[in-house]
């Protein structure tokens, strides 16, 4: 999966979970980045190395441990 597909998939999952359309501008505000930056993530023209590194690390973990990490991270959002 490439970075563009990752962002599109995550965005789509959140839209499905919440049952409403979420604009790129709204999602950018949620993750504290500019709308332009988020748009570049969605287009695949900006690929943050840190995201790739985190995804590689997560892929080495068991599902239950991933869930624990994400829940702990959610406390900071």
> Do residues 1 and 9 touch, judged by C-beta distance below 8 A?
yes
Cβ atoms 27, 11 nearer than 8 A: yes
Q: Is the pLDDT of residue 50 over 90?
A: yes
% of the chain beyond a pLDDT of 90: 95
pTM: 0.85
Domain boundaries, the chain: 1-46, 48-77
Task: State residue 51 phi and psi, 5-degree precision.
Answer: -65, -45
The answer on pLDDT for 77 being more than 90 is no
Quick: pLDDT tens for 4-41. 999 999 999 999 999 999 999 999 999 999 999 999 99
Per-position DSSP letters for 36-76, written without gaps between them:
HHHHHHHHTS---HHHHHHHHHHHTS-HHHHHHHHHHHHTT
């Amino acid at each position: 999966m490439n970075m563009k597909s990752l962002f599109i998939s995550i965005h789509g999952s959140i839209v499905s979970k919440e049952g409403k359309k979420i604009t790129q501008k709204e999602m950018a505000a949620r993750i504290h980045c500019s709308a332009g930056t988020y748009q570049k993530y969605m287009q695949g023209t900006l690929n943050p190395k840190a995201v790739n590194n985190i995804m590689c690390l997560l892929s080495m973990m068991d599902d239950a441990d991933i869930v624990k990490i994400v829940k702990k991270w959610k406390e900071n959002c």
